[in-house]
Structure 1
Amino acid sequence: MGQFSVFSRLGLPVLLAATAVLYLWRLGDSGWANAFYTAAVQAGAHNWTAMLFGSSDPANAITVDKTPAALWVMDVSVRLFGLNSWSVLVPQALIGVAAVWVLYATVRRVAGPGAGLLAGAVLAATPVAALIFRFNNPDALLVLLLVAAAYCVQRACEKDASRWWLVVAGVAVGFGFLAKMLQAFLVLPAFATAYAVAGHRTLSRRILDLLIAGSAVVLSAGWYLALVELWPESSRPYIGGSQHNSIIELTLGYNGFGRLTGKETGGLGNLNHDVGWARLFGAGMGLDIAWLLPAAMICLVAGLILTRRAPRTDPARAAFILWGGWLFVSALVFSFSNGIIHAYYTVALAPAVGACIGIGVTLLWQNRFDIRATTAMSGTVLVITILAAVLLTRHSEWMPWLRSSVSVGGVGAAVLLLVSGRLTPVMARSVAALAVVSCLAAPAGFSIATAATSHSGAIPNVGPSHQVSGRGLGGAGGLLDSPKPSTELVATLARGANDYTWAAAVVGSNNAAGYQLATGAPVMAIGGFNGTDPAPTLERFQQLVATGQIHYFIADQMMMLTGRWGSSSGGSRAATDIAQWVETHYTPLFIDRAAIYDLSAANT
Structure 2
Amino acid sequence: MTSATETQPRITEPAAPPPRETAAPRWSLPVLLAILALAAVLYSWNLSGSSLNSFYSAAVLSGTQSWKAWFFGSLDAGNFLTVDKPPLALMVMGLSCRVFGYGTWQMMAPVAVAALATIWILHASVKRVFGHAAAAVAALVLALTPITVAINRDNNPDTLLVFLMVSGAALALRAVRNGRLLPLLGSAACFGLAFNTKMLQGYIALPAVFAVYVYASRLGWRKKAVNLALAAVALAVSSFWWAAAVSLVPASERPYIGGSTDGTAWNLIMGYNGLGRILGGEGNGGGGGGFSGTAGLGRMFNDILGGQISWLIPFAGIALVGGLVLCGRAPRTDLTRAALVLWGGWTALHYLTFALAEGTMHPYYTTALAPGIAALCGGGGVLLLRAFRTDRRWVWVLPLGLGVTAVWAAVLLRRASGWNTWLWPSILVVMALALAGLFVFRSGASGLRLRLLAASVAAAVVAAVAGPAAYAWSVPSGSGGGMSGTNPTAGPTTGSGFGGLVGGGGGRGFPGGEAPPSGQNGQNGPRGQAPGGTSGSGAGAQPGGMSRAPGGGGMGAGASSELVSYLKKHQDGAKWLLAVSSSQSAAQLIVSSGEPVISMWGWSGSDKAMTLAKLKELVKKGELHYVQLGGGMGGGPGGDSSVSSEVTAWVQKHGTAVNAASADSSANSSSQSSQSTIYRLDPSDVS
Aligned partners of 2:54 and 2:557 also within 8 Å: no
- CA displacement at 1:399 relative to structure 2: 1.3
Deviations 1:527-580 (A, max 9, x none): 111122111212211221122111212234236xxx543337xx9653443234
Shifted more, 212-221 versus 433-442: the winner is 212-221
Partner in structure 2 of residue 460 of structure 1: 488
Alignment of 1:125-524 (within 5 A): 125-159=144-178, 161-264=179-282, 266-270=283-287, 272=289, 274-369=294-389, 370-423=391-444, 424-453=449-478, 456-464=484-492, 466-470=504-508, 471=516, 472-473=518-519, 474-475=536-537, 476-477=539-540, 484-497=558-571, 499-524=573-598
Aligned partners of 2:280 and 2:288 also within 8 Å: no
Which whole-Å CA distance do the structure 2 matches of 1:426 and 1:538 have between them?
76
The count of residues paired between Structure 1 and Structure 2 equals 593
Which whole-Å CA distance do the structure 2 matches of 1:371 and 1:580 have between them?
79
Deviations 1:192-237 (A, max 9, x none): 1111121111122223222221221111112212111121112111
Which whole-Å CA distance do the structure 2 matches of 1:515 and 1:107 have between them?
46
Which whole-Å CA distance do the structure 1 matches of 2:571 and 2:119 have between them?
45
1:536 aligns with 2:610: yes
1:89 aligns with 2:108: yes
Deviations 1:32-58 (A, max 9, x none): x10001100011111111011100001
Aligned partners of 1:52 and 1:68 also within 8 Å: yes
Aligned partners of 2:347 and 2:372 also within 8 Å: yes
Which whole-Å CA distance do the structure 2 matches of 1:142 and 1:410 have between them?
35
SS, match of residue 591 in structure 1: coil
1:586 aligns with 2:611: no
Superposition TM-score, scaled by structure 1 size: 0.93
SS, match of residue 367 in structure 1: helix
- CA displacement at 1:450 relative to structure 2: 2.0
SS, match of residue 98 in structure 2: helix
Aligned partners of 2:288 and 2:357 also within 8 Å: no
Deviations 1:573-601 (A, max 9, x none): 53443234323433322324863222238
Partner in structure 2 of residue 598 of structure 1: 680
SS, match of residue 263 in structure 1: coil
SS, match of residue 291 in structure 1: coil
1:119 aligns with 2:144: no
Which whole-Å CA distance do the structure 2 matches of 1:478 and 1:362 have between them?
53
Deviations 1:210-266 (A, max 9, x none): 2221221111112212111121112111111111111111101111011111132x4
Pair 1:455–1:97, CA change in 2 (3 A)? farther
Which whole-Å CA distance do the structure 1 matches of 2:153 and 2:102 have between them?
17
Shifted more, 285-294 versus 433-442: the winner is 285-294
AA paired with 1:494? K
Pair 1:270–1:231, CA change in 2 (3 A)? farther
AA paired with 2:602? G
Aligned partners of 1:103 and 1:351 also within 8 Å: yes
Which whole-Å CA distance do the structure 2 matches of 1:483 and 1:30 have between them?
12
Aligned partners of 2:620 and 2:683 also within 8 Å: no
Deviations 1:385-428 (A, max 9, x none): 11111111232222111111112112332343344423421111
Pair 1:419–1:252, CA change in 2 (3 A)? farther
Alignment of 1:73-88 (within 5 A): 73-88=92-107
Aligned partners of 2:629 and 2:635 also within 8 Å: no
Which whole-Å CA distance do the structure 2 matches of 1:421 and 1:599 have between them?
81
Q: Identity of aligned pairs, percent?
A: 38
Pair 1:404–1:584, CA change in 2 (3 A)? farther
1:103 aligns with 2:177: no
AA paired with 2:506? V
Which whole-Å CA distance do the structure 1 matches of 2:249 and 2:411 have between them?
53
- CA displacement at 1:4 relative to structure 2: 9.2
Pair 1:456–1:578, CA change in 2 (3 A)? farther
Which whole-Å CA distance do the structure 2 matches of 1:461 and 1:69 have between them?
23
Deviations 1:282-340 (A, max 9, x none): 12321211111111111111110111222211111110011111111111111111111
Q: Which of structures 1 and 2 has the bigger CA Rg?
A: 2
Partner in structure 2 of residue 20 of structure 1: 40
- CA displacement at 1:176 relative to structure 2: 0.4
Aligned partners of 1:534 and 1:573 also within 8 Å: no
Aligned partners of 1:368 and 1:420 also within 8 Å: no
Aligned partners of 1:241 and 1:529 also within 8 Å: yes
Which whole-Å CA distance do the structure 2 matches of 1:469 and 1:381 have between them?
37
Pair 1:83–1:496, CA change in 2 (3 A)? farther
- CA displacement at 1:110 relative to structure 2: 0.6
Which whole-Å CA distance do the structure 1 matches of 2:646 and 2:506 have between them?
31
Superposition TM-score, scaled by structure 2 size: 0.83
Pair 1:483–1:73, CA change in 2 (3 A)? closer
Which whole-Å CA distance do the structure 2 matches of 1:57 and 1:317 have between them?
49
Which whole-Å CA distance do the structure 1 matches of 2:375 and 2:657 have between them?
58
Which whole-Å CA distance do the structure 2 matches of 1:182 and 1:330 have between them?
12
Aligned partners of 1:177 and 1:221 also within 8 Å: yes
Which whole-Å CA distance do the structure 2 matches of 1:440 and 1:149 have between them?
27
Aligned partners of 2:410 and 2:424 also within 8 Å: yes
Which whole-Å CA distance do the structure 2 matches of 1:139 and 1:467 have between them?
22
- CA displacement at 1:357 relative to structure 2: 0.8
- CA displacement at 1:478 relative to structure 2: 8.4
Which whole-Å CA distance do the structure 2 matches of 1:372 and 1:601 have between them?
84
Deviations 1:98-157 (A, max 9, x none): 111111011111111211111111111000110111101111111000111111111111
Aligned partners of 2:556 and 2:591 also within 8 Å: no
Which whole-Å CA distance do the structure 1 matches of 2:251 and 2:93 have between them?
26
- CA displacement at 1:347 relative to structure 2: 0.5
Deviations 1:328-370 (A, max 9, x none): 1111111111111111100000000000111001111222222
| Structure ranking higher in helix proportion | 1
AA paired with 1:241? G
SS, match of residue 27 in structure 2: helix
SS, match of residue 554 in structure 1: strand
- CA displacement at 1:520 relative to structure 2: 0.8
Which whole-Å CA distance do the structure 2 matches of 1:599 and 1:373 have between them?
77
Pair 1:130–1:573, CA change in 2 (3 A)? farther
Aligned partners of 2:286 and 2:358 also within 8 Å: no
| Structure 2: 5+ residue stretches without partners | 1-22, 494-503, 509-515, 520-535, 543-554, 662-674
Q: 1:55 aligns with which of 66, 70, 74?
A: 74
Shifted more, 209-218 versus 337-346: the winner is 209-218
